[in-house]
Structure 1
């Protein structure tokens, strides 16, 4: 079997409105990122000479030419060989693309062996808990509560919201309001998106402990290993981090310094399931859990979480985020009562629904974004007065 090419879907655009908060006028944002007004969907498949294809629902656009050339003519079953070739071809600088290809390769391996990927990676359990993720800082307090309650009404037993506003007291008010609104048995995670300094994070963590927060996510800059170590020692709240980083060297240092309780390695950005499984094994030796960041379609996240004994929980966004891309797959698992049953179909168990994609494109003629996504320096200094950026 040999790889003979890559086939892309046509790019489709759509809005990222929440079903609980329609027609929100403010752009989506967190502590350091402004979202685009529309988002793009584009998946790709790796094609083999034997008619077996591997789907990668990653939406990163066209692959760099050097990677397409690197895998051309190779046997897709040689996962470690291909991962190593891609890593050195890009010198570790294009891990999103490496991860996207790796996902498609695992889909092929699953189809050839007639096994779901989670079983090939370890097969620890056949269902995983999932939490509802949202809570953008653009939402008013009332809209935020409506959104979080919507997740609970759908059956989620855990939800996540953003914090990291310029005024820390406003963050505390929003957290208090959500905790009071949802059932006390519902777990609440907080995502800071690297928005605080170490001292602000320690101060805020102490104030947030009264709310029994399930985890505090990426409270400080991801590269500040010493800062994470200080913070983890200073609070009872579990610390989660790692969605945007890769490399066993980095994670080895984070784990040795006891910087976190939950690793959120993104299965695309870390280099695919091949790299994610190695990070999970390393984390297990330190008693640290895994909860993958939601970058690809969540059937991928659910499967890798189910594969390992330290898989904690998977992340799910509302249907329609960023567009109804979840409707573009046949076989996609949906949560029920806060759990996802892992597909027993070969590979990742999903296929593109081209008819649905064509229907959406014709009935929702949204063009390219007028407002592009961008990042900024965080404004959370811990002071009441913050200089505009």
Structure 2
């Protein structure tokens, strides 16, 4: 039985000039943090996973739980995770402990699949698709005069993406102006999503949805703070636009409340922050059992993007039809982030507005070691 011979954490950060800071309704920044967990088995196979968030915080959680994984079978993740959760229940789940476990989980799936010579998707549900329509995650609030909304929209419109998502949430008048400009830039046929990042109360979110409805919005993402489940349920009943959320929810327990409460129309687990591929698959099963759409949130580095590709590939068509009314899309971050664009020997391929599933075993990607060291901070 293959065992974990070595497990290690690499903290990463990409920083750029403060005057080029960008972000969302709650604020911006000029640093992109992240982390990697690498696992080496006693059979000489290495797997890698990504953790979301501040790497220095994640490192301390990693040091706490690393001894529980060392020497264990590569198939024992669920048992070790349960022990961690049961012993450390005071810490909750919405923290870097969950991000650390997510990276370990993905690294193990990567190592297991490489050991068998298959793709991760083959092990977690099978491969239903190898091309994923991408939507551009763009339209950030930016301090850079050379990269404002119109610049970003022009970039997105120049590629055959399925659509684009832009940031709003700084007042309804501004929301309407940004949405109008986005629809003009994208044209009538592309999907347009908006992201409020939890900056509104339910009454303001409803007013916003009603104000921007004429521009054919595919979904409103995170209109409310993640803990306002009653607000989400009330808003969903009244909003003329579908509601999406999930990037700030953690583990299947959080998502059960979101799903069972009929708080959203689109469920958005973020693999590096919600506990990994195993937990994301559990969440997808809950969503599909309630006949809700799944669209994973993807915001981070290259390994997280590769994991999202494997996750989407594994999802069955639900409800099954030869003519899906809405595409199962992959979020494609177009912000300045070298942890997404510069960490791999061979970047993920983008072709005709679709991201292609890598051909190789495991996650199908290989780290560029020089690039990893360039951005390493701990």
| Matching of residue 314 in structure 1 with residue 314 in structure 2 | no
More displaced 10-residue stretch of structure 1: 187-196 or 139-148: 139-148
How far does residue 12 in structure 1 lie from its aligned partner after superposition?
5.4
Question: Which residue number in structure 2 is paired with residue 239 of structure 1?
Answer: 243
Tell me if the contact between 1:67 and 1:89 (Cα under 8 Å) persists in the aligned partners: no
Tell me if the contact between 2:51 and 2:102 (Cα under 8 Å) persists in the aligned partners: no
**1:180-259 superposed matches below 5 A:** 180-259=184-263
Question: Which residue, out of 304, 311, 316, partners 1:304?
Answer: 311
Inter-CA distance 64–41: structure 2 relative to 1 (3 Å threshold): closer
More displaced 10-residue stretch of structure 1: 152-161 or 184-193: 152-161
| Matching of residue 337 in structure 1 with residue 367 in structure 2 | no
Which protein is richer in helix relative to its size?
Answer: 2
For normalisation by structure 2, the TM-score amounts to 0.85
> In 1, distance between residues paired with 2:76 and 2:129?
25
> In 2, distance between residues paired with 1:288 and 1:352?
35
Question: Which residue number in structure 2 is paired with residue 376 of structure 1?
Answer: none
Question: Which residue number in structure 2 is paired with residue 276 of structure 1?
Answer: 280
More displaced 10-residue stretch of structure 1: 140-149 or 201-210: 140-149
Tell me if the contact between 1:14 and 1:38 (Cα under 8 Å) persists in the aligned partners: yes
* 3-state SS, counterpart of residue 330 of structure 1: coil
> In 1, distance between residues paired with 2:339 and 2:244?
28
1:29-52 CA distances to partner (integer Å, 9 max, x unpaired)? 3122432x2334543311122211
Question: Which residue number in structure 2 is paired with residue 378 of structure 1?
Answer: none
| Matching of residue 287 in structure 1 with residue 294 in structure 2 | no
Tell me if the contact between 1:130 and 1:338 (Cα under 8 Å) persists in the aligned partners: yes
Tell me if the contact between 2:13 and 2:31 (Cα under 8 Å) persists in the aligned partners: no
Tell me if the contact between 2:172 and 2:211 (Cα under 8 Å) persists in the aligned partners: no
| Matching of residue 105 in structure 1 with residue 114 in structure 2 | no
> In 2, distance between residues paired with 1:351 and 1:207?
46
Question: Which residue number in structure 2 is paired with residue 151 of structure 1?
Answer: 156
> In 1, distance between residues paired with 2:366 and 2:146?
38
Question: Which residue number in structure 1 is paired with residue 323 of structure 2?
Answer: none
> In 1, distance between residues paired with 2:232 and 2:146?
29
Tell me if the contact between 1:41 and 1:325 (Cα under 8 Å) persists in the aligned partners: no
Tell me if the contact between 1:299 and 1:332 (Cα under 8 Å) persists in the aligned partners: no
| Matching of residue 3 in structure 1 with residue 4 in structure 2 | yes
How far does residue 296 in structure 1 lie from its aligned partner after superposition?
4.5
| Matching of residue 170 in structure 1 with residue 177 in structure 2 | no
Inter-CA distance 332–117: structure 2 relative to 1 (3 Å threshold): farther
Question: Which residue number in structure 1 is paired with residue 82 of structure 2?
Answer: 84
Kindly report structure 1 stretches of 4+ aligned residues shifted beyond 4 Å: 8-12, 139-142
* 3-state SS, counterpart of residue 77 of structure 1: coil
Question: Which residue, out of 37, 45, 48, partners 1:52?
Answer: 45
> In 2, distance between residues paired with 1:256 and 1:109?
33
Q: Which runs of 5+ in 1 are unaligned?
A: 16-22, 369-389
| Matching of residue 27 in structure 1 with residue 21 in structure 2 | yes
1:36-90 CA distances to partner (integer Å, 9 max, x unpaired)? x233454331112221111124365335222111101101123322332343344
Q: Which runs of 5+ in 2 are unaligned?
A: 319-326
Question: Which residue, out of 323, 328, 342, partners 2:338?
Answer: 323
How far does residue 233 in structure 1 lie from its aligned partner after superposition?
1.0
How far does residue 263 in structure 1 lie from its aligned partner after superposition?
0.8
How far does residue 304 in structure 1 lie from its aligned partner after superposition?
0.4
> In 2, distance between residues paired with 1:261 and 1:326?
31
Tell me if the contact between 1:141 and 1:174 (Cα under 8 Å) persists in the aligned partners: no
How far does residue 257 in structure 1 lie from its aligned partner after superposition?
2.5
* 3-state SS, counterpart of residue 351 of structure 2: coil
Question: Which residue number in structure 1 is paired with residue 68 of structure 2?
Answer: 70
* 3-state SS, counterpart of residue 25 of structure 1: helix
